[in-house]
Amino acid sequence: MVTLNSIFSSNMVLQANKPVRFFGSGQGSVEVTLLGNTKTLEAKGDWLIEFDPVSYGGPYTIDIKLNGICSQLRDVYFGDVYLLGGQSNMQFKLKECNEPVSDYRGNDNVRMFTVDRLELSEYYFSRDGWVVLTKENAGEFSSIGYYVSQELATDERKIGLIACYQGASAIQPWIRKDLADKFPTTLAKREYPLWNDNGKLYEKMLSNIIPFSISHVLWYQGESNAYTNEAELYIDMLSCMVDNWREDFRDFSIKFVIVQIANYIWGEDKNGWKAIQELQLKASDCIEGLKTVVCHDICEDDDIHPKSKKVLSQRIAKAIEG
């Protein structure tokens, strides 16, 4: 049986001006028709079909034929796709922020795909495909994803969000295991062993959407590495992760925008927390194609999950545009 990866569904946003890749697994015949161009192959395991880049536009219909069974993906656009990565502050929902529900706004120009988490506690799952932002479901969107996309989405530029995060995750599980094993096993593993083994979240979550073309990675993480003996290695681990992701997504032009963790210091290791902040600030000078956004002056410092995410997201949007 041959299957198409669940990231491909109606309502999706494909990255404009980059290779268009369709992929899945299994054995059998595969046929994909995109804008009148048809490509076929005989799958014998993991398979991939790639088309040339397409400029911004839509809506389009894509025809898929797997072992002779036809289906259509409708209302598909080419726009900009942002991967939302990190831990709980990226996972933090709009409904958990201080935004009044009366101010929630739907936006047909914004769509989100959710990668299944290991603890399966999301409102949306990969089986739901790409979900169009509405006033009714806005509260279930990542608050940062919601605010950033509201800043940037237009009728001519759809925004696709890929939610791929896990609260209380260190950086090591997001790096491919053979690379992550060069670094110490994270201390956070003691509390959250389900997902904090080296390479675990890369293997169980991120790899499921590789090599879908994307524009930017928005990364908010660091709290779970704020221990003195790990913090000093954070910039090396971040650099390793950036290289790892760019290589495996087959795109060294992917940009990264990271958020410097807020001033709230969790636990007793203040030196480790401050070291993470300093290295995240330094990262923009050390890692090509990466920008660091500061939040300590605009977010609360009395909670590890600052509820004020709107102005921070406006800064992220400016970093993307800049």
CA distance 59 to 80: 14
CA distance 258 to 316: 8
Q: Which of 58, 77, 96 is the last residue of a domain?
A: 77
pLDDT in tens, 289-300: 999 999 989 887
* Amino acid at residue number 169: S
Q: What is the pTM of this model?
A: 0.96
Mean pLDDT of the chain: 95
Joined tokens for residue 138: 């806005």
pLDDT value at residue 51:
98
pLDDT value at residue 106:
98
- How far is the first Cα of the chain from the last one, in angstroms, to the nearest whole number? 45
Q: Are residues 58 and 186 in the same domain?
A: no
Mean pLDDT throughout 119-147? 94
Q: Which residue has the higher pLDDT, 305 or 289?
A: 289
pLDDT-based confidence at residue 222 (cuts at 50, 70, 90): very high
Residue 71's domain spans which residues?
Answer: 2-77
pLDDT exceeds cutoff 90 at 301 = no
Instruction: Tell me the torsion sign for CA atoms 204, 116, 46, 23.
Output: negative
Q: Are residues 243 and 172 in the same domain?
A: yes
Q: Which of 61, 77, 93 is the last residue of a domain?
A: 77
Q: Which of 77, 96, 131 is the last residue of a domain?
A: 77
For the chain, the domain total comes to: 2
pLDDT in tens, 12-58: 999 999 999 999 999 999 999 999 999 999 999 999 999 999 999 99
Mean pLDDT throughout 274-290? 96
Beta-bridged to residue 312, according to DSSP, are none
Q: Are residues 90 and 63 in the same domain?
A: no
pLDDT value at residue 264:
81
pLDDT exceeds cutoff 70 at 266 = no
- Residue 232 φ/ψ, nearest 5 degrees: -65, -15
